[in-house]
Chains A and B, each alone.
Chain A
């Protein structure tokens, strides 16, 4: 990354968290006061030597005690300032970064399905955890050190200049080459650290395979192959880390050489100046102390480079997410409510394509009557799932419009849309909580009694009774304590209590165990009763039971009508689909 881009990221990162600037002047002021303590000691040394030790009347403990007392006071104040500064810094930065976590979290939820799907789950989690942590580590260690070091550099330069401009020139000349070398190395360092980060990413991927694919690796007896892949990744990472270490040490030691040159230069030139009467022993000694203060900042700057880059990289990844506009946005206050009562659906010449991808749906023009049930059928990839996503406004069409009871979806307030239109997704995702809490996810205020009623109304009372702790049974991570079919049952009850006017079902493709299947079908019949229902159907039974079947093929609606009527159209897509279904059940 170029320096300009890096600076740009940092600037935007800071702009993103304006809280970081709260009380910044105060924090910097405290840091400067803390620094004063560091410089106070060399100054005290100079004063003590020139006026106390080498004083006119020989060593004078009283004079020295006076200087030391004052310096101790300065030191105490600066230590206290250091405490206040660190506390402020942590409070301000953690508050700001906590806000950044929450904001990014919400933004990710606000992104459309399209964008959520294009990111891996793990990397979205990193946006609100690891990436923010990296910024925090940098702000609190590297950032403080850099800030203190810079202050130290400036303050000690000023003091040195006051003591002797000639010696200051000597010090600058001695460090000049070192600083140049360090700057040269910084570019190398940036690239080797980047390699380290990339390779640890690769390693993590390979290790993940050995965990997730453990069964397959064993079944095929290919552990040796995986071992080799891991070994290569482990060694690649180690080689990169060692290279980074070599570059970093070389760069660091050039500062060390600078310090040696500065010390000896100061001694030589200082002595020559002193012989001429332009220098006292105390001042020269103070200079030697100050040189050690001068070298640290330069070295710290190199040391913090990796963390700084990690932080910048973290910031950039967060910015990349925040920069994506929630393209399917809530019209909010400018939006309208859906009209009360059952909802009808109208697709007006709707087309959809994924950005840079082929057309998924084109020229879909449909009207669906309120309170009727519709089954959308078609082969995998025909566009029927896209149809469901457009209908629930998980995505917006590229062209045309979707209207509910005459109102364009894009104008409907989300609060109204989500309470009236509910989708039951394929995988029936459940949260790691109890059955009751999962259903309350839809309507938080429901009592246990009402929840039990809902199960009873859907004919699931005995199923609920069969659970180890009834409503309070924990469903496990992702609901995995339940079978696939049972998860769908709970998801269905969740949709039922939401009491929507338009229900969109995305049927699961995977097979469910037969006993659960029967319950599911029965419950489904009851849930759909009296509502406008659109089911993305994978089962023949669903299509047969629907008032109307809509056949999608290659992104177009090719047939529409009751099951029996469509079947009569010989050689039609639906007839073929039906034939293959039938073949299956024979």
Chain B
């Protein structure tokens, strides 16, 4: 955006407007017709006023008597115009507003649909804050010029109408318009060209101020314990000052533009007075016509600014639109099959020579093969970065392997439908995610066949029935945004219950009980082994590892060995070092 020239932005901005019009043609036509009517009424009103002064008022003053018929016509004409204006304002503003709101709503839906459809890998590459503003402020910015757009269209119609009326009235007076209107356009154009880089700069500084504040408040505890409040305030103040300077620069330019924009039409009115009197002397025109034209230039001023509003919003609009488009055109969706998983009960998970790497990073997994036999518990053990969480994601097809295959009861995961996959498998992630909903909503997720009985059973299994029973409204208790009213351990147990409530045939725990008291964790894992599901566990605590039927020992993305905990302890030095090293830490 900043790299593009002003013309480029203008052109691309107009293209965005074009797409918006094609999306909502009816509302655009209604509002533009309303606005055009409004514009023509302004011209008509000036001529009516001029006519009344010239042909009703002046003769009446001269004759010292007034015809009530003439006055009645005057009142009827003025009120009639006023009534039509009200109608046109309704059409223009409601049409424009509804168009804008509908477009925003449509694109908010489209953007969030993409969020839900794009794979976790894509989400990992994008910061939460960016995605949030894509769906909110970027969508708003993209369609910000829609609100004044019909007004601007109506203004162009008004200016065309005014030019025609001027030429019909008198060619000399029309010259004022010929000089003035292009000047107004040029002023608007230069203004928006000079303004857009300033605004982009200010916007960037604004983002910087927000980023510094966010980080500083995030680390408030460190700031406080190190007694660095004053230094942080100084760091913040630097960006605040830069933002201030940026905004003052915006203000300086506006200080030039706003008053000029207001004065130019007045200069037109004054020119009309001079030229009009001269033409009057020559007998070329009437007093009524001079007054009409003078009045016209006075009332023109305001609508012409609508064009400036549209042009002024275009850079922001293009920037917002680009960011929205980046989301809408993002690729990499996982395509699901049609198949269902036959049978029921615990399912066998099989990894067959699986390779995986992130976009252009180094390989994360290489030739990984192992099996979780139906109904058994397998633990993944390895140092940080050995690929454990990636295996968890592959097991649920949150990502696809680069080569090799993952299958469930011998059905390859890509052959399963999304619903079948979700029914058969469940994941409890490292960091629990809780919806802003009730306990019931969080556990059941409106899944068919998950009633209150199932919810309570799952809560019991996850050792979460005690604290849920103690909540003021039990299952109906709202847990707040991100489960704010719960402790870390409670959140983990709630998400565990959610996974259990669907009676999955394969359950994957990605270090999912770290915030749970060790005693409680042992009880949970014990219960899970009896829950009739295959279990894949990413584990650190030795007690958890020891509970597994089999351990897969990973090192730098490769399976080094598979066997029982004891076997690995006896044969694998690296494994022994890893587990005992941890034990030293723990014990």
Q: Which residues 107-135 of A sit at the B interface, judged by CB distance below 8 A?
A: 108-110, 113, 116, 120-122, 124-125, 128-129, 133
Residues of A within 8 A of B269 (CB): 41, 45
Of the candidate stretches A158-166, A264-272, A557-565, the one touching chain B is: A264-272
Given the complex of chains A and B, what is the CA–CA distance between A156 and B398 in angstroms? 69
- B178 on the interface (CB 8 Å rule)? no
* Residues from chain A with Cβ under 8 Å of B66 in the complex: 271-272, 275
Interface residue range, chain A: 35 or more
Docked-complex contact A45 and B273, CB < 8 angstroms: yes
- Cβ–Cβ contact B85 & A82, under 8 A: no
Interfacial chain A residues near B117, Cβ < 8 Å:
223
Q: Is the CB of B61 within 8 A of A422?
A: no
Determine if A53 and B287 form an interchain contact, defined as CB atoms under 8 angstroms apart.
yes
The digit string for B230-261, where 1 denotes a CB below 8 A from any CB of A, is 11110011001101100110111011101110
Identify which of A89, A272, A491 contacts B251 (C-beta below 8 A). Answer: A89
CB distance from A263 to the nearest CB of B (A): 5
List the 5 closest A-B pairs by CB distance, nearest first.
A260-B82, A90-B251, A418-B227, A221-B422, A82-B259
Q: Once the chains bind, are B236 and A105 in contact (CB under 8 Å)?
A: yes
Q: Which residues of B lie under 8 Å from residue A241 when comparing CB positions?
A: 97, 101
Q: Is the CB of B214 within 8 A of A121?
A: yes
The verdict on A129 contacting B86 (CB below 8 Å), with A94-B247, A109-B223, A418-B227 known, is no
- The answer to the question of A379 belonging to the interface, with a C-beta cut-off of 8 Å to chain B, is yes
CA distance A275 to B291 in the complex (A): 20
Q: Contacts A260-B83, A483-B384 given: A252-B433 contact, CB under 8 Å? A: no
CA distance A53 to B276 in the complex (A): 9
**CB <8 Å contact, B222 and A515:** no
Partner of B136, one of A87, A207, A478: A207
B52, closest chain A residue (CB): A267
Is the CB–CB distance between A106 and B85 below 8 Å?
no
- Interface membership of chain B positions 418-434, coded 1 if the CB is closer than 8 angstroms to chain A and 0 otherwise: 11011101110100010
* A256 contacts the other chain (CB 8 A): yes
Q: Can you spell out 28 A-B residue pairs with CB atoms less than 8 angstroms apart?
A: A45-B294, A49-B291, A53-B276, A59-B280, A64-B277, A65-B274, A90-B252, A94-B251, A105-B216, A125-B214, A205-B436, A213-B435, A214-B123, A215-B393, A226-B116, A234-B109, A245-B93, A246-B94, A249-B94, A261-B79, A271-B57, A271-B74, A274-B57, A423-B221, A509-B488, A521-B585, A541-B584, A586-B543
Is the CB–CB distance between A478 and B384 below 8 Å? Answer: no
Closest chain B CB from A178 CB (angstroms): 11
B486 contacts the other chain (Cβ, under 8 Å)?
A: no
A247 to B498, CA, bound (A): 45
CB of A135 to closest CB in B, whole Å: 12
Beyond A221-B422, A517-B581, is A58–B281 a contact (Cβ under 8 Å)?
yes
Q: Are A64 and B579 in contact (CB under 8 A)?
A: no
Q: What is the 8 Å Cβ interface bit string for chain B, positions 40-62, against chain A (1 contact, 0 not)? A: 00000000010011001110110
Stretch from B1-9, B516-524, B527-535 that touches the partner: B516-524
- The stretch among A279-287, A345-353, A398-406, A456-464 that forms the contact with chain B is A279-287
What's the least CB distance linking A31 to chain B, in Å?
Answer: 11
User: Which B residues are in CB contact (< 8 Å) with A432?
Assistant: 215
The residue in chain B whose Cβ has the minimal distance to the Cβ of A214 is: B123
Collect the chain A residues with CB atoms within 8 Å of residue B83's CB: 257, 260
A sample of 9 more A-B contacts (CB under 8 A), given A212-B128, A256-B85, A415-B227, is: A45-B294, A79-B262, A98-B244, A105-B240, A219-B398, A242-B101, A381-B487, A441-B222, A517-B582
A581 an interface residue at 8 Å Cβ cutoff?
Answer: yes
CB contacts (< 8 Å) of B26 on chain A: these are none
Query: Which of these binds chain A: B13-21, B205-213, B316-324?
Result: B205-213
Q: Which interface residue of A80, A206, A245, A541 has the most chain B CB atoms within 10 A?
A: A245
By a CB distance below 8 angstroms, the chain B residues around A394 are: 221, 224-225
